[in-house]
């Protein structure tokens, strides 16, 4: 029934609030440290503002404020969002979409605070600096070696990066500048061509030549092997291509 479904939703919101309150209690006064995972002893493992997961906790707080309209969650969301501001100049990490769109992005959607908007636009500009027009993609990492191979990455692009395109689509709508959107589409098209296998599975990582833009090979840094499918990465891809369809209505992305 409608009433039982509504009760189910309300019970889960209450549970989410209780769990998040427990996290806040566990974090205590550790400002500048953001929850990342749980250690074997049950204590929290944390990261600084530059950790790729730093935006998730503020995002959770904003969502609880949206669901409950309780100003206490808004106060906590602001408290945990504002310290992330230095990432607006972070050009060394492609995960600023994770960090900043989940925090300032959710905050802006709910408050329309102009300072949040300006921070997000600057973040998008920082992310754009990682785009290589030869490769038609945003560079993920600076380089290195995959655990399953000996090749040194020159221009690695990981499937996770599909999630960070949301910030660029937002920036185009916020500023009227199509360059953010165009780069997001370019990146998604390249990923679609080389990181998605014929059976719909995905490579975690694609290696490209930064001079020619040529695809060198597909690898993994997170999954079982180069030819396996890392499930979390597959999730990033599903979200990312659905996002691209939502923003472009291009049926290739939905397919």
Q: What is the dihedral of CA 64, 170, 213, 99, to 10 degrees?
A: -30
Query: Which of 3, 118, 149, 160 is labelled catalytic?
Result: 160
Q: What is the DSSP string of 73-120?
A: HHHHHHHHHGGGGGGGG--S-TTHIIIIIIIIIHHHHHH--HHHHHHH
Active site residue 95: yes
Which residue in 3, 95, 177, 209 is the catalytic one?
Answer: 95
Residue 204 is given by DSSP the state S
For residue 60, give Cα distances in angstroms to 23, 45, 179.
11, 17, 30
160 flagged as catalytic: yes
> Apex CA 31: angle with CA 22 and CA 164, to 5°?
85
Residues with a catalytic annotation lie at: 95, 160
């Amino acid at each position: 029934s409608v009433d039982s479904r509504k009760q189910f939703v309300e019970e889960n919101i209450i549970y989410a609030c209780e769990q998040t309150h427990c996290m806040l209690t566990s974090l205590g006064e550790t400002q500048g440290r953001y929850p990342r995972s749980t250690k074997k002893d049950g204590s929290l493992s944390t990261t600084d503002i530059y950790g790729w997961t730093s935006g998730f906790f503020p995002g959770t707080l904003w969502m609880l404020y949206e669901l409950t309209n309780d100003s206490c969650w808004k106060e906590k969301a602001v408290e945990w969002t504002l310290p992330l501001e230095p990432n607006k100049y972070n050009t060394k990490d492609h995960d600023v979409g994770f960090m900043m769109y989940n925090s300032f992005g959710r905050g802006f959607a709910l408050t329309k605070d102009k300072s949040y908007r300006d921070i997000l636009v600057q973040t998008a500009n920082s992310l754009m600096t990682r785009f290589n027009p030869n490769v038609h993609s945003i560079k993920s990492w600076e380089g290195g070696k995959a655990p399953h191979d000996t090749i040194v990455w020159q221009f690695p692009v990981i499937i996770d990066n599909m999630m960070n395109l949301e910030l660029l689509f937002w920036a185009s709508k916020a500023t009227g500048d199509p360059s953010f959107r165009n780069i997001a589409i370019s990146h998604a098209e390249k990923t679609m061509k080389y990181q998605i296998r014929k059976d719909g599975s995905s490579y975690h990582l694609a290696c490209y030549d930064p001079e020619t833009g040529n695809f060198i090979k597909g690898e993994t840094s997170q999954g079982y092997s180069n030819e396996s499918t890392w499930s979390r990465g597959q999730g990033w891809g599903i979200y990312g291509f659905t996002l691209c369809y939502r923003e472009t209505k291009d049926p290739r992305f939905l397919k």
